[in-house]
Structure 1
Amino acid sequence: MAQRLPLILFALVMAAIPFIPTMPPFWIVLLDNIGLSALVAMGLVLLTGVGGLTSFGQAAFCGFGAYTTAVLTTAYGLSPWLTLPLSLVVSGVFAVALGLITVRLSGHYLPLGTIAWGLGLFYLFSKLEFLGRNDGISAIPPLAIGPLKMIDPDTIYFAIWTAVILCALLTMNLLDSRTGRAIRALRRGHVAAEAFGIQPPRTKLLVFIYAAVLAGLSGWLYAHFQRAVNPTPFGAQAGIEYLFVAVVGGAGYVWGGVLGAAIVVVLKEVLQDYLPVLFHGEGQLETIVFGMMLVALLQLAPNGVWPWLVRLLPFKPGPKAIDPSLVLPPRRKPAAIDDSLLIVDHARKEFGGVIAVNDVSFDVGTREIVALIGPNGAGKSTTFNLITGMLSLSAGTISVSGKVFKSAKPQDITKLGVSRTFQHVKLVADMTVLENVAIGAHLRGHAGAIKSLLRLDRSDEARLLAEAMRQIERVGLADQAHMLAGNLSLGQQRIVEIARALCADPALLLLDEPAAGLRHMEKQQLASLLRSLRDGGMSVLLVEHDMGFVMGLADRVVVLDFGTRIAEGRPDAIKANPDVIRAYLGGAP
């Protein structure tokens, strides 16, 4: 309830504004426009600020919502309220069609793709006869509740801001969930997300559709606010402006979208009113000054105005309460075959003419710690990526719990009870340690996006967070659970990655250089943890350069050199093996 208090207070303030006796009607119109812009910006917060997908085409989805209700109410006589779900469905259907193509793009191709279809749709709106071509559609009926017709700005104001507040609540619910963590995990790349069962294309499409539906809602309200539509508000310039709104307010924050809409809409209005007076009507300087002021604003607050404003507030929201009594049921893991969880059989990986892994074979048994060692460039991390499905084999096979494959998706390998860390830490820096670790339990949760939006996922979410906290305590970072992961030292971040991997409840744990960056005492604690995991029934395969750490911990050691296995055996035998000494020291012992 405490977390929802600011939202309740904001709703009460917005509800009271039209009843202020001295409130000019012009400011109500301005607030209506701010609300319409805020709906689109909220979608962009989720799409761009949280999901990392830059879109310049959201104005086109406003057009779908606006034109759908305009055609159905004027040509077919439908009630405006009946057209609301249809406007949202049309926006969502076009989002599916465009999203299936767009979300697969990456880098600069993604924003270029959104600009391309944004321009195409604007051209379509202006050329179709049944949409009125460039003249658009007029005489759209107003919204009405019984005898009350929302013709005036101060009556439709309540419809617009009710929509803004409800959508803000739904969006915050979505972000504060298993689905929201999956969306945020994609912003730093898909590799770590896939390793814990997240489906990047499906997740990106989900957020793309959600943002489009919010834009469609804004377009539906716009049509009944203006009582007429034409292509102009749905062009490329409007799409760019909506993205400005989200970035200025704070692209990663729901209320940043609302604040950004207020800043941009008011700033434009002020410039249009006062610049002609200052420059005696010479030239249209609003756009130039507007752009300069936005650049200056972003220089002062590069992450947006909202996080800068929040830092100035005297109160800060407290951490979530975690119920330690809640327990996730253990994952059902496939049984080992002939006491081996993992069998690598003549694995080979070629990159063009370079052989990174050359017919390597080894296995990992149950309750066993196996170390994979070798000089830099020996192919250790490539072998890890082959085992976890990040890379496909050029030849040979890999078997996990009896399931043999040459290429498999990382999500499928995760379902077989395999979890991993990475050579280069892959955490979401602006998420807390608790949230990062909870990503590891993604496959152990079941609530989807709809339940998250309606906040019907609370029991599932409480168990996921309780499990995440349990693993954080297990690795000794309980005091850092509510800190941002990016504020930790490199060694602590590696421990967080281990906690995240343990949250998946794996049968086989793959650790890529887990001791790098750790102090001596921390290495001893890590070794003790890994032994306890082995004694508890888990198997561990690790890559490590610290030979003292490896030889005191591993049950068996596999040595690679230039992608080829040159030795395998007990640590004592490996230390005395001449081939191993030659590989590390460059000469005979």
Structure 2
Amino acid sequence: MKPRILIILVACVALLAPLVLPSFQITLLNYIGLYALVVLGLVLLTGVGGMTSFGQAAFVGLSAYTTTYLTTTAALPDWLSWTNGSPWFGLVFGLLLTAAIALILGALTLRLSGHYLPLGTIAWGISLYYFFGTMTSMGGHTGVSDIPPLTFFRLILDQGEEMFYVIWVILAAAMFITHNLLSSREGRAIRALKGGQLMAEAMGVNTFRSKMIAFVISALFAALSGWLYAHTQRFINPSPFGLHMGIDYLFMALIGGVSSVWGALLGAGTLTIMKQWLEDLLPLILGSDGQYESIVFGLLIVLLMQRSPSGLWPFLVKLTPSSWRSNNHLTIDDNAKTLDRRDLPARESLLLEAKDVTRRFGGLIANNKMNLSLHAGEILALIGPNGAGKSTMFNQLSAVDTPTEGEIIFRGKSLKGKNARQVAEMGMSRTFQHVKMLPTMSVLENVALGAHMRGQKGVVSASLHLERKEEQRLLKEAKLQIERVGLGEYVFEEAGNLALGQQRLLEIARALCSDPCALLLDEPAAGLRFLEKQALAELLVKLRGEGLAILLVEHDMDFVMNLANRIVVMEFGELIAEGLPHEIQTNPAVLEAYLGGVE
């Protein structure tokens, strides 16, 4: 459904609900809103960023206990006495404390990968839960009651109907922020975390920073929920902040659609209402003994995951008429100012040099004292039989891998100790042997990732939609590069729908979007048809004419011989020949390597 229509419908329902529904239903809607806030953070963290967390309930509790302490403690310390027990200062301190704890926990756990990351979140989630229970000043496991209600000027918000509007306005603001963030430069970086971290680093994205942004924002959404929960319920104990609730939040995200902003609301509502119905109906059918609702609910979740693994929201969207769907949320202003370009080095100047590069993997020597040089305004081809060590050499030149011995120098500076992101900032860009892209994102968004370093606006600007001018400049640059490689008709197409050859062109467009002075291409002609290869060759010749330095690894000898200025040949990790194309074609060592000998 079109977002604008959906927003209007939800807003109308929210405005009318307290006027027509009984108190119990309003309480249920309040809980749905509180849960949706937490799940929204999981959409950003888990669904988009690919980082599974079971500890979000602990962040809810952290904020809830912070505001409870400030508002119920009779004798606050001197440094807090000025707050006068105001719930609004409870919100501020809750957010600040949660952000600080999230930064510490994120620094400790986000470097973990695989199953270690969710296990790490379970560990600190359980630790915080037991910490809440051991605070005798906060009632231990018994809890604290008589938490004061929120006040807004002279209005006391002590009824569910009054808190309903507060909860749902904050939820709407959080959804607005999340939607804006995901549609921005910072959002693309977060979306690249799920399956594209190596590619993102090569495009200049600080992936750890993006992880921390997603983690802290999700924690802050949970903190907002905890503050609202404390002043809505006006009683807290550790029970709602344990691991079981963290699992429920993940279930809500999975049910609604873990990658969808609207799925957070749908998932929270579906789980909350279903649990209520099952708790009411099953005892009437099966008797009052036993928690049959948990068994039935678990079976229903398994069935849902089989039938619609992406969740209910994507499933429902598919059922709506195509005219209702928003096929493209991006617009491009062709009148936007063009991005500034770097000054290319003087033609024939030395850009990239490898000196006696050796790479060992245990007892295996993949590269042995390799030397090569790349100059501005030339195309250098790196060729050799399968297993010659070309990919290893390529990865070391682009700082994805590090030499065991020797040195790589780019633009007069050693790459020792530098990572792929830092080298990208210096002006080197690359493609990959096996295409690395984000298949569910559009061609435009994939290519715009290449321009990440050329933008400056941060998370706050993106969340509040204040970076539109810069965003339009980035999208315009992406469109220009897409058209430059011949994919102009696929700008808004999902990248996963492209043929393999077109995906390779997408990678080249993305690399060009970073405005490099050295372009490293790993088998760019693989999968291309004859006419596409001709078009690619024409593009590379044009780039060479502009002063760009190009190094390519390629198996298509006809493509290489008709294009390269110089060729370097490897075998068994060593340099066996270097020279002009016609020299390489008649070199005995090269013929021996490729053909097994010459007469």
Report the TM-score when normalising by structure 1: 0.97
Does residue 19 (structure 1) correspond to residue 19 (structure 2)? The answer is: yes
User: Please, which of 49, 53, 65 is the counterpart of residue 55 of structure 1?
Assistant: 53
Match of 2:7 in 1: 7
Alignment pair present for 1:251 and 2:258: yes
Which of 548, 563, 566 is residue 558 of structure 2 equivalent to?
Answer: 548
Question: 1:39 is matched with which residue?
Answer: 37
**Structure 1 residue 82: deviation in Å?**
2.1
**Corresponding residue to 1:316 among 319, 325, 341:** 325
Match of 2:516 in 1: 506
In 1, are the aligned partners of 2:146 and 2:235 still within 8 Å (CA)? yes
Structure 1 residue matching 2:144: 3-state secondary structure:
coil
Residue 500 (structure 2) aligns with:
490
Q: Which residue of 1 aligns with 2:526?
A: 516
The 5-angstrom pairing of residues 11-160 of structure 1 reads 11-20=11-20, 23-75=21-73, 76=76, 77-160=84-167
User: C-alpha offsets along residues 391-440 of structure 1, whole Å, 9 cap, x if unaligned?
Assistant: 11111111111112333111111111100000011001111100000000
Give 1:410's aligned amino acid: A
Distance 1:72 1:407 in 2: 48
Following superposition, the deviation at residue 337 of structure 1 comes to 10
- The 5 A counterparts of 1:272-421 are 272-314=279-321, 315-319=324-328, 320-332=330-342, 335=345, 339-421=349-431
- Do structure 1's residue 177 and structure 2's residue 184 form an aligned pair? yes
Please tell me whether the aligned partners of residues 369 and 555 of structure 1 are also in contact (alpha carbons under 8 angstroms).
Answer: yes
Structure 1 residue aligned with 2:210, among 203, 209, 212?
Answer: 203
Give the C-alpha shift of residue 5 in structure 1. 5.1
Q: Secondary structure at 1:188's aligned position in 2?
A: coil
Measured in 2, the distance between the counterparts of 1:109 and 1:441 equals: 32
Deviates more, 1:328-337 or 1:401-410: 328-337
> CA separation in 2, counterparts of 1:250 and 1:457?
28
Distance in 1 (CA, whole Å) between partners of 2:96 and 2:343 is: 40
- 2:344, 2:548 within 8 Å by CA — same for their partners in 1? no
Contact 2:342 2:515 in 1 (8 A): no
Whole-Å Cα distance in 1 between the matches of residues 594 and 276 of structure 2? 70
Q: Which residue of structure 2 aligns with residue 479 of structure 1?
A: 489
Which secondary structure does the structure 1 equivalent of 2:456 belong to?
coil
Is the contact made by 2:126 and 2:242 (CA closer than 8 Å) also made in structure 1? yes
**Residues 51 and 207 of structure 1 are in contact (CA less than 8 Å); yes or no, is this contact kept in structure 2?**
yes
Q: Give the aligned length.
A: 586
1:62 alignment partner, SS class: helix
CA RMSD of aligned residues (A): 1.4
TM-fit CA distance, 1:325: 3.0
CA distance in 1: counterparts of 2:307 and 2:186, whole angstroms:
32
Q: Which digits, 9 at most, give the CA deviation of each residue in 1:8-39, with x for residues without a partner?
A: 4422321221122xx22211111001000000
The Cα offsets for residues 63-120 of structure 1, whole Å up to 9 and x where unpaired, read as 0110011010001451112211111111111101111011000000000000111111
Structure 1 residue runs without a partner (length 5+)? none
TM-score w.r.t. structure 2 length? 0.96
Shift of 1:446: 0.7
Structure 1 residue 330 displacement after superposition: 3.1
Letter in 2 for 1:63: G
> Residue 181 of structure 2 contacts residue 459 of structure 2 at CA under 8 Å; is this kept in 1?
yes
Verify: 1:575 aligned to 2:573, yes or no.
Answer: no
Other-structure match for 1:268: 275
Percent identity over the alignment is 51
Please point out which of 494, 515, 531 is paired with 2:541.
531
Matched AA of 2:325: K
Asked if 2 retains the 8 angstrom alpha-carbon contact of 1:491 and 1:516, the reply is yes
- Give, in whole Å, the separation in 2 of the partners of 1:41 and 1:431: 22
Counterpart amino acid of residue 247 in structure 1: L
Deviation at 1:318, TM superposition (A): 4.5
Question: 1:330 and 1:383 mapped to 2: Cα distance?
Answer: 32
Q: Is the 8 A contact 2:196 2:438 kept in 1?
A: no
Which residue in the other structure is 2:79 paired with? none
